[in-house]
Amino acid sequence: MGKQGSPRSPRPEPQIDDDLSSGTKDYDPSNVGRRMPGGDNHLNSKMLLLHGLRNDSVKYTTCKGSFVGKKHLWLRKDVRSIIFVFALMGFLLLLDSFLVSIFDSMVLQNSSAIRKLPVLKEEDRNAYLMKEKAPVQMYDRLLKLAKGALAEKEFKPELSTLWKEPYRQVAAWKPCADRKVSPSLGKYKKGNGYIVVSANGGLNQQRVAICNAVAVASLLNATLVLPRFLYSNVWNDPSQFGDIYQEEHFMDVLKDEVKVVKELPSHLKSLDLEAIGSLITDADLVKEAKPIDYIRVVLPLLLRNRIVHLLGYGNRLGFDPLPSELQRLRCKCNFHALKFVPEIQHVGSLLVRRIRKYDAALSMLDKQLLGNFMHSSPSKEHDAARGPSKYLALHLRFEIDMVAYSLCEFGGGESEKKELQTYREVHFPLLIERLKNSKPVSPRELRKLGRCPLTPEEAGLVLAGIGFKHGTYIYLAGSQIYGGNSRMNSFTSLYPNLVTKETLLTPSELAPFQNFSSKVTEHFYSF
């Protein structure tokens, strides 16, 4: 039997005879068994109990009806929201299908238009890749930050220290090459032999190789043969030492410390240096080697064969630790002995004067680099169009050889990857072989490690952060930027006053240097 008030179905009520309930009829014991005393009272109590159950059932039915009514009311209210959500989802699906159909139709139209375009010839493909690329902005966020920094600085006074040397002691500095050589450190009467150097790379690598060779020749008490420049299929420039630097001046400046000759003696010219073991490559000397490495590796060969050839020589002499006398000699080579030939000095002086608008006084560096081609008096030719004497010389180092060698990515997609890989296979076969035997590093990781050339957006952000304003006059050095003008769009939007050697010099003035990139492209950066 269930408890009272439980939600089970109410029991069927017992049928009680009316006569029995009224007590007017005698009780028939054959029907219900033995009659107990007080039976009438017991029957009345049962009837009261049944009446109570009937009342509880009515109450329960009322509560249940109230609960069901509230439930139906909630459904009526929320069914509208549910219907609205489903309707909105259906509308969005229809809109998405509509937009996809429009996009597909546009793609079909573009593909049919592309089929009608003429096919580029093989010889025009490289020019197309370099000049006709769509504008590339690798970091929109960096560009926005740079624009914000420029806008913020535009109405503020320029920093007084922006165009000055950062150290107060600079006025007291003196060139280390001006120090006199101690008489006790003079040259030996008899040298140990001859050093031949074949330098590679562009301007920076060549100058480093030359001055390192001067220091090594002094260290090993050897005679230095005028360095040679290896031909590079990157630069495509056959220029040699005498085409760029003044040979006699170089030999004369160094004569008291290192003996320099133009050629080897005849009895050494015919030797097979590789066969006798006098050919020294990068595999024999570590990068930025110490003086003791040259004494251990090079000096024994020099004493035995009287000649060594440093092939592919570059940054193979370290800076620290290095005896002060060797460092002084290296500085003397770089800033005094290496002087450009007159034709380069002349064109360089034209560049400097046109950039400065003849406003600036000559400095010691002007005289050292340009000789007598710089005049101290201003020219009247450009007086009416005088511009700012302050300018910034900038080398982005974003040529295709630097970009390809870095193994980085610069936002050009699959076409860029294929182009740079092809360039590496043609121009850097040793790099390709090295990559086969080493663990690959992802372009993203290379960029995190700081091994990628700065993009134009990054360079613009750096200049804006330093404090250079929107109107800064900038001379862009170097050869063709990878990607052409489209790659420079972001930078020129930040700094529009950008000039190059092509905009400053006339075609006739540039003509003698057209096929000599090492002469004009890199060396004009020195000015």
| Interval 43-91: pLDDT, tens | 444 444 444 444 544 444 444 445 445 555 555 666 677 777 777 787 7
pLDDT at residue number 236: 73
Phi, psi dihedral angles at 397 (to 5 degrees) = 55, 40
* d(C-alpha 292, C-alpha 18), whole Å: 133
pLDDT at residue number 209: 93
**Domain spans of the chain, in order of start:** 140-155+343-377+386-523, 193-339
Cβ atoms of residues 24 and 41 within 8 Å: no
Helix (H, G, I), strand (E, B) or coil at 240: coil
* d(C-alpha 191, C-alpha 407), whole Å: 45
The dihedral over CA atoms of 93, 98, 99, 104, expressed in degrees to the nearest 10, equals 120
* d(C-alpha 463, C-alpha 248), whole Å: 41
Which tokens belong to 502? 């092509």
Which tokens belong to 316? 């193979």
pLDDT at residue number 32: 40
DSSP characters over 445-484: HHHHTT-SPPPHHHHHHHHHHHT--TT--EEE-SSPPTTT
| Interval 180-199: pLDDT, tens | 665 545 555 689 999 999 99
Q: How far is CA 497 from the centre of its chain?
A: 24
* d(C-alpha 517, C-alpha 510), whole Å: 11
SS in 3 state form for 368-437?
A: HHHHHHCCCCCCHHHHHHCCCCCCEEECCCCCHHHHHHHCCCCCCHHHHHHHHHHHHHHHCHHHHHHHHC
pLDDT at residue number 311: 92
Q: Residues in the chain with pLDDT < 70?
A: 1-79, 95-139, 165-173, 177-189, 233-235, 357-368, 374-389, 479, 515-527
DSSP characters over 255-291: TTT--EESS--HHHHT--TTTTT-EE-TTTS-TT--H
Left (φ > 0), alpha (ψ -120 to 50) or beta: where does 137 sit? beta
Phi, psi dihedral angles at 280 (to 5 degrees) = -115, 125
313 exposed, middle or buried (CB, 10 Å; 0-12, 13-18, 19+)?
A: buried
